[in-house]
Amino acid sequence: MSLRTSDFDYDLPPELIAQTPIEPRDQARLLRLDRRSGAIGHHRFSDLPDLLQPGDLLVANESRVIPARLFGRKPTGGAVELLLLRRIDEVTWQALLRGHKLRTGTRIIVNDTVSAEVVDQSSTGERLIRFNRPIDDVLGDLGVMPLPPYIHEPLRDPERYQTIYARTPGSAAAPTA
């Protein structure tokens, strides 16, 4: 059996895509599949304690979303957008970059005190970038929360973009499914 990406196309009307988190948060929708019967149930997150059975495993994602989208420019003036994916060490990050001619050796200026250099690139389009200094302490000032492309409403409260379990900084995007 061969699969094509078109096999996964479906119609999703824009009005069904939530633009802001629901309040109160425990009223978020929850889809449940009963693996024994195959029955699908529509619930609210507040129903979860009643749905769990002895022996069930519940995994909570404790990762906090970091303001991982940065904007910079090349020394020539060309705009560069950076999406930090994974911290490798104090100054090195795996990232997705948007801009023209971002080859190994390209310098990216984020502001007067922060710059980065492209040090490697993979065949998948990800790049390894090395900042001129650790950025953890200034990331909140320099970066913005990376919103999915289908979210058009501005983010009023960045804390609402976190899950209620968020503890450890590190995610480049919130779980939106």
Q: Give 103-118 pLDDT, tens digit per residue.
A: 999 999 999 999 999 9
Token duo for residue 10? 């479906």
140-176 pLDDT per residue, tens: 899 988 888 888 877 788 787 788 888 988 888 877 6
Note if the bond before 24 is cis, omega within 30 degrees.
yes
Task: Determine the residue type at 139.
Answer: L
pTM: 0.78
Q: Which domains does the chain have, with CATH numbers?
A: 10-58 (no CATH), 63-177 (2.40.10.240)
Q: Which two tokens stand for residue 168?
A: 């450890």
The CA-to-CA distance between both ends of the chain, in Å, stands at: 27
The pLDDT tens digits of the residues spanning 80-97 come to: 999 999 999 999 999 999
Asked if residues 85 and 68 have their Cβ atoms less than 8 Å apart, the reply is: yes
